[in-house]
Chain A
């Protein structure tokens, strides 16, 4: 599972650079859950280059690989990312929960 935090920054009139968390989301396989912030900052159509695929991919190609490489798509100084690979323990089959729909954007908490 990949956890991604999206930060945007603002330059105030006094020149100070201030960061804020714009969105946070988790990608598990092809399941994406927005856990915080504004879903407009979760841009699954943004192409990113994957060494594994040897080409530009988007979320629909491979969700976790896309999330892993997303930071490299933003090199503008205004948007930045922190992606973290989280190793999850495999649960016994009998205790597995039913999977959520493939894309669970509904959980986003708007925070502008």
Chain B
């Protein structure tokens, strides 16, 4: 069962490319024996199941946590609210985000969680398949007041502007000290103009910091205070200008266009053009 025209082709492109991928984290995820993935504690009072599975893979003397996100854990109605009509594409977006980061190189390839596609042995329903995400170190909370995270936040903001992130909030990340940041959860991304941006108070977290916001009052809750982060600017730095120039010069978007529907690839090209013209990152939710 596939969901919209073209998603089968996009998925087959990922599958066909994977044997020749060379990044060490991709190879680890693809070559390690499949770990015993198990539900990671998320159950609800309702029939809803938030089934991100986790497992520990061992290969080549390394031991890492991997997260498997089968498509049947995506709620179609929620996905549709974000303009994501294909559950397959929601899964592919995790991989496409990583491919984009990988092709752009550091600092983004060090920020974004590597992801590959996984079809469990014997799976007959596409909803049993999904992306496997490399476990980034740290926890899902950027420590307040954020001292030392300035550069990482700025880099993350650029990436979010590029991919049209719809759901980056203060917990869709991993952070640890000494300052290290990981970007996770990119299913709701590659948005098109007019698509929904999460309405939550910290949605667009990094981009809003880049435009100067440091305090995030949570409704009926505490104020998240990141006043330890120094001044940031929306103006593109030299690395970002180079990244934008590379993307603008390549109709195939460094190999990522084949993983996106035509309208989402066009939206990415348009964001690249707009950032090239203005010399600044786009604001959160400006797809």
Contact = CB atoms under 8 A, between A and B. Distances in A.
Residue of B65, B73, B169, B172 with most chain A CB atoms under a 10 A cut-off: B65
Contact residues on A (Cβ < 8 Å of other chain), bracket: 35 or more
Interface string A52-83: 00111011100000001111111111111111
A51 to B, nearest CB: 7
A78 B174 contact: yes
A105 B224 CA distance: 15
Contacts of A24: none
A74 B42 contact: yes
A60 B221 CA distance: 13
B74 interface: yes
A14 B56 CA distance: 11
Contacts of A12: 137
B73 A59 contact: no
Given A15-B65, A43-B221, A71-B50, A77 B133 contact: yes
A69 B78 CA distance: 11
Nearest to B217: A45
Nearest to B186: A76
Interface residues of B, number: 52
A107 B62 CA distance: 43
B174 A11 contact: yes
A63 to B, nearest CB: 11
Nearest to B219: A45
B220 interface: yes
Interface string B159-191: 000000000011111101000000011010000
Given A43-B200, A45-B199, A75 B224 contact: no
A37 B75 CA distance: 28
A9 B176 CA distance: 12
Contacts of B174: 11, 78
A81 to B, nearest CB: 6
Contact of B41 (A19, A42, A60, A105): A19
A17 B42 contact: no
B135 interface: yes
Contacts of A68: 44-46, 48
A103 B220 contact: yes
A77 B69 contact: yes
Interface of A: 2, 7-17, 19, 32, 39-49, 51, 54-56, 58-60, 68-85, 103, 105
10 contacts: A12-B137, A15-B64, A43-B171, A43-B200, A44-B220, A47-B199, A56-B78, A59-B219, A68-B48, A76-B185
Top 3 A-B residue pairs of the complex, sorted by shortest distance between their CB atoms: A78-B140, A76-B185, A77-B67
Given A17-B65, A43-B201, A49-B77, 15 more contacts: A8-B171, A9-B139, A10-B176, A17-B135, A43-B171, A43-B218, A56-B81, A71-B50, A72-B78, A75-B74, A76-B52, A77-B40, A79-B171, A82-B42, A85-B45
